[in-house]
Amino acid sequence: MSAVAPVGILGGSFDPVHHAHLAVARTAQAALGLARILWIPGGTPPHRAAPLASAAQRQAMLERALAGEPRWIVDTHELHKTTPCYTVETLAALRADPRRGLGAATPLVLLIGADQFAHLSAWHRWKDLLALAHLAVFTRPGWAVAEVADAAVRAEFAARRDAPDGAWRARAAGAIVPVDMAPLDISSTAIRTRIAAGDTPRGLLPDAVLDYIAREGLYAKGN
């Protein structure tokens, strides 16, 4: 068992952050025993449209959502970059930066959904991810790796699979750990659509975030 507690990495656009994001973090904290979670709002995404909210607005929403959770930290490494942000490069930079106190021995755990895992082979230098971090894959009950079409990803899963309380904790990187979690039917896209239609999606995201969105006029039709 490593003497260093693992640190979670949770990336995304967070445009806006909502309760499904928070549920993933809480589940990860409990199932994996994470010392802390670094929330990394993305900068310039390589394969999707840019977020509608500005970098400063997405950071402000995250800070409101994470208030009261001292082990959850907004990390702005990607946020203001104007070149495409790749996860493998972000992980390498986080490990190399002494200000973050991670170093080579700290187990890092990249938190991703089963839908992201299914397309892992499309990620930039995807096999190098496992030299830098473990992958915690959040799956619905009954999920099977056979649902992943890519044979290379299935092979990596078979070779690297471990349990949430398994031996991966003694290593800095390299395991794939499935974590069961009942899915929440919440998405940032649906929230933005409801706001643009004049609806108030209360209950789908923290009230402090919703109040900020209203004050800023974010996602409203015409903005």
Contact 82, 6 (CB under 8 A): no
Domain 7-184 falls in which CATH fold? Answer: Rossmann fold (3.40.50)
Mean pLDDT by groups of 10 residues along the chain of 223 residues: 85 97 97 97 78 96 97 95 92 94 94 94 96 96 87 96 96 97 93 96 97 97 73
What is the residue-wise DSSP string for 142-182?
T--GGG---HHHHHHHHHHB--TTSGGGGSSS--EEEEE--
Main-chain phi, psi angles of 180, to 5 degrees:
-70, 135
Q: What is the pLDDT of residue 141?
A: 86
Q: What is the pLDDT of residue 80?
A: 87
Indicate the SS3 state at residue 50: coil
- Measured CA to CA in angstroms, residue 66 lies from 29, 51, 77 at distances of 14, 20, 17
Indicate the SS3 state at residue 9: strand
Q: What is the pLDDT of residue 2?
A: 58
Report d(CA 97, CA 99) in Å as an integer: 5
Instruction: Map out the domains of the chain as residue ranges.
Output: 7-184
Q: What is the pLDDT of residue 47?
A: 67
Residue 140: other Cβ atoms inside 10 A: 11
Report d(CA 51, CA 11) in Å as an integer: 14
Q: What is the pLDDT of residue 220?
A: 94
pTM of the model: 0.95
Report d(CA 77, CA 40) in Å as an integer: 7
Contact 140, 96 (CB under 8 A): no
Q: What is the pLDDT of residue 183?
A: 85
